[in-house]
Structure 1
Amino acid sequence: MTSASGETPSAPAAVAPGERGALRIADRVVAKVASQAAREALGSLPKDAVPPHATVVVHHEAVRVRVHLELDYPSDIGARCAAVRRHVVERVGALVDMEVPEVAVHVERLHPAQTQGRA
């Protein structure tokens, strides 16, 4: 690209990392990312279930996550919790570029499956 005078603008001088500033992602943003990842991992929720929510503790570049959720029953609770853990680690790591050494999943409530033909 050239300027009106026909000269090519020079590239901005490289700024040393210490002079550029820093990026800090708020804890509540990390918690929202973790909550959304838990929703994605669960897929459909029971009709009257509260959506998953997460709390986080961020220390340097690592985040410990606690996810609270409700599940339908009967289901393989262990497998569903493991899927939530894996997905939260993957998505939080990818989106906020933090290590996730711990994801604790708390099942707050089980919702019985609705049987066909009952009112």
Structure 2
Amino acid sequence: MSHVQYLALMGACLLITLPLELVLGARVYRRPRRLLLTLLPVVVVYTAWDAAMIARGSWGYDPETTTGILLPLQVPLEELVFFVVVPICGLLTYEAVGNVLRAVRRIRSGEAVPAVLRDLPRGV
């Protein structure tokens, strides 16, 4: 189990933030081109950085806690997954919070609000 524990954690992160897309209308997954353009520089830069630090001996990864699948330049699969999942979760959170704040402003100004956001607690 310890070999897939980190991947399971990344899956849980995606699962936990999925309601932000489905319930609060974050629209991150519904704009795949925009998502890809956002992720591409993050993945490229951090993977290159990680590969350089591994090659330099600055850090490494315990084979007991990783799948053992290495990408080119000796970067573990788990690192690539991390560089994709964490920005997606951040984007989902950012977009959902923006939607909620816009709904709160509309409620306060008396404008019409989408039904899914209308029933949020008043303290939000």
Structure having the larger proportion of residues in helix: 2
Point out which structure has higher relative CO (alpha carbons under 8 A, 6+ apart): 2
What TM-score does the superposition give when structure 2 sets the normalisation length? 0.28
**TM-score normalised according to structure 1 size:** 0.29
Larger relative strand fraction:
1
Larger of the two Rg values belongs to structure: 1
